[in-house]
């Protein structure tokens, strides 16, 4: 079986590890591209023209990645995904190479859990775009999905940006565990950076904490 090559676009280098460690290395190889600049542009964009400028930059990045001989492209930044939505428009830039938004397989798996969930974030900047896409995704499937959002202490995500990965994972784990203990609905971790914390909470509590990496693995099985 030929190894499939994935072009992975990240906003932060810390997401590389989750793809490298979470995928079957005999089935997939990853070519990583990290572009944090678009995040800064998106957070300070004051006009539609500036937002379009970021969209053009991101589509150009996808075209560049597509030219590297990949079988599919994975976008791991939910802000980039939201800026490029609907992703069907990007297929022209990629020459028809599939573009997988990391949250879409996660949406599908989340809807399988029932009609409501607690969606956990450590990065408040990703909440609005992710939830808008989640509700739109549910509506397309004729689902009235009830989602409560929970955001960790602002200092938690700052730890990740400072390169303090262990401290970040520890705080994210405590945050998720608290939600699992209090929530009456399933808890889902919305960000790729919460992968380790979600896995540890699952192991310690016995409750399922759905993460984007779990769902992505299932989606990529279709490429094998």
Report the pLDDT averaged over residues 74-92: 77
- More confidently predicted of 47 and 133: 133
CB atoms within 10 A of CB 179: 22
pLDDT at 131: 92
* Among candidate residues 118, 141, 142, the one with its CA nearest the CA of residue 131: 118
- Using left for φ > 0, alpha for ψ between -120 and 50, and beta otherwise, residue 122 falls in alpha
Q: Which DSSP category does 124 fall into?
A: G
Three-state DSSP state, 186 = coil
- Per mean pLDDT, which range of 36-50, 104-118, 131-145 is the poorest? 36-50
Confidence of residue 49 (pLDDT cuts 50, 70, 90): confident
**CA distances for 76 relative to 32, 73, 183, 189, angstroms:** 11, 10, 27, 14
Greatest CA span in the chain, whole angstroms? 49
**pLDDT at 48 > cutoff 90:** no
Report the pLDDT averaged over residues 200-207: 94
Q: What is the pLDDT of residues 211-224, one digit of tens each?
A: 999 888 888 876 76
**pLDDT at 104 > cutoff 80:** yes
Report the pLDDT averaged over residues 165-179: 95
Q: What is the pLDDT of residues 120-162, one digit of tens each?
A: 999 998 898 889 989 999 999 898 889 999 999 989 999 988 8
- More confidently predicted of 90 and 17: 17
pLDDT at 110: 93
Confidence of residue 87 (pLDDT cuts 50, 70, 90): low
pLDDT at 86: 66
Report the pLDDT averaged over residues 51-64: 85
- More confidently predicted of 173 and 129: 173
- Per mean pLDDT, which range of 3-7, 40-44, 111-115, 177-181 is the poorest? 40-44
Domains, the chain, with CATH or none: 4-101 (3.40.50.1860), 104-214 (3.40.50)
What are the beta bridge partners of residue 74? 8, 100
């Amino acid at each position: 079986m030929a190894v499939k090559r994935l072009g992975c676009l990240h906003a932060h280098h810390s997401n590389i590890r989750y793809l490298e460690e979470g995928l079957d290395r005999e089935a997939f190889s990853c070519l990583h591209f990290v572009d944090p600049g678009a995040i800064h542009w998106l957070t300070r964009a004051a006009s539609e023209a500036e937002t379009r400028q970021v969209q053009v930059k991101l589509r150009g990045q996808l075209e560049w990645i597509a030219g590297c001989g990949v079988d599919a492209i994975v976008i791991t930044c939910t802000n980039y995904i939201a800026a490029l939505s609907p992703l069907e428009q990007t297929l022209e830039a990629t020459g028809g190479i599939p573009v997988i938004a990391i949250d879409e397989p996660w949406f599908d798996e989340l809807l399988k859990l029932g009609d409501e969930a607690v969606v956990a974030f450590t990065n408040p900047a990703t909440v609005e775009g992710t939830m808008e896409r989640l509700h739109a995704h549910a509506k397309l499937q004729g689902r009235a999905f009830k989602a409560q959002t929970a955001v960790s202490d602002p200092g938690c995500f700052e730890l990740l940006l400072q390169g303090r990965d262990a401290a970040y994972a520890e705080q994210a784990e405590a945050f998720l565990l608290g939600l699992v203990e209090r929530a009456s609905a399933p808890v889902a971790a919305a960000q790729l950076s919460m992968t380790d914390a979600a896995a540890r909470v699952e192991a310690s509590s016995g409750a399922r904490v759905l993460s984007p990496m779990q769902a992505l693995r299932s989606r990529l099985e279709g490429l094998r």
